[in-house]
Structure 1
Amino acid sequence: MHKEKFKDVYAGVFVLAVGLILFAASFSVPKGAAVSIGSDFMPKVTCGLMAVLGGIITWNGNIQAKKYNENNKNHREEKKHYKELAASVAALFVYMILLVPVGFVIMTTVYITVQSWILSPKEKKNPVKFFMIGAVASAVIYYIFRNIFVLMLPAGILGF
């Protein structure tokens, strides 16, 4: 059997396993007494979604493995995206470092804009669109956490 044939299956099983392990571990996060949705809510949701997506990746990988034909395989080398990976990791670290002092709304807007720029192909780079998506997403997330979940996010230099 060819390793490439099952690479999505392996990735899916890995994501599924990590998601399930983290989901089980999220039950040890204390809920808190002051609010109806405690600090254990988001880890459970995130890890649950990770497990579901891992299952979907595994399912689709199995379908693709059945359709795999080595003779019809495109023999060109896939481009490795090491620069994009390094830039993404650097952007994430800068985001984490500056999140508290600068604030959630500003840093999330900047992070989403930069990450979209890094991951998009050259012909689809649109900084105005990326900025608008980042601004709307960070404002909506901030509103939901502040007013629905009653959880505080770093206000930073904006002070609200």
Structure 2
Amino acid sequence: MDRLKKREFIVGAIMLASGLGYMTLTSQIPHVKNQYGFVDASFVPYVLSLIMCLLGILQLATARNMAASETDQEARTDQRTVFKTIALIVAYVALLEPVGFLLSTVAYLVIQFTMLTPAAKKPNLPLYALIAVLTSGITYAIFRYAFDMVLPAGIFGF
């Protein structure tokens, strides 16, 4: 097993183990009857733990199916993309309050989509912008009207 494939396998195993551990801890949260039925204090942690487990399984499957032709240069490119993504998330969080959820989320998504577009392919900015606007708008509406939570308004002030 080459070094990159081994590293990907380890990451998948850690993610799966973390998800299972998180699910175990979540099962210890007391269930309280409320007006929302099955949605209680443990609902979101269960969803997150299931997502973590799913991502771990997908990572393990990806590591298992990795072609031996993937080079260290491709791995370094992936590492640079990870660091750029982390920097972009930090900028997003910093701008969320002053700029607002809608505008900062649209900008974040368009930049992230562009950054994740393969170098050999031209970014489809109109499509990226459409997806970002729809996703941000739907997310804002869900939080505002379904959950009755106000997200940062920023410069829009609504």
Same fold judged by TM-score > 0.5?
yes
Q: Label 1:120 to 1:60 Cα distance change in 2 as closer, same or farther (>3 A).
A: closer
Match of 1:134 in 2: 132
1:9-48 map, 5 Å: 9-25=9-25, 36=36, 41-48=43-50
Gaps of 5+ in 2: none
Query: Aligned letter for 1:99?
Result: L
**Could you tell me the TM-score, scaled by structure 2's length?**
0.74
Q: Residues 131, 8 of structure 1: CA spacing in aligned structure 2 closer, same or farther, 3 A cutoff?
A: same
The structure in which a higher percent of residues are helix is: 1
Describe the shift of the 1:39–1:112 C-alpha distance in structure 2 as closer, same or farther (beyond 3 A).
farther
Flag as ranges the 4+ runs of structure 1 deviating above 3 A. Answer: 1-8, 21-31, 34-44, 59-62, 75-78
Q: Number of aligned pairs? A: 153
Aligned-residue Cα RMSD (Å) equals 3.3
Q: How does 1:12-91 map to 2 (within 5 A)?
A: 12-25=12-25, 36=36, 41-62=43-64, 64=65, 73-74=68-69, 76-79=71-74, 80-81=76-77, 82-91=79-88
- In structure 1, the gaps of 5 or more residues are none
Identity among equivalent pairs (%): 28
State the alpha-carbon separation in 2 of the partners of residues 78 and 99 from structure 1.
Answer: 34
Contact preservation (8 Å) 2:4, 2:72: no
Task: Name the stretch that deviates more: 19-28 or 87-96.
Answer: 19-28
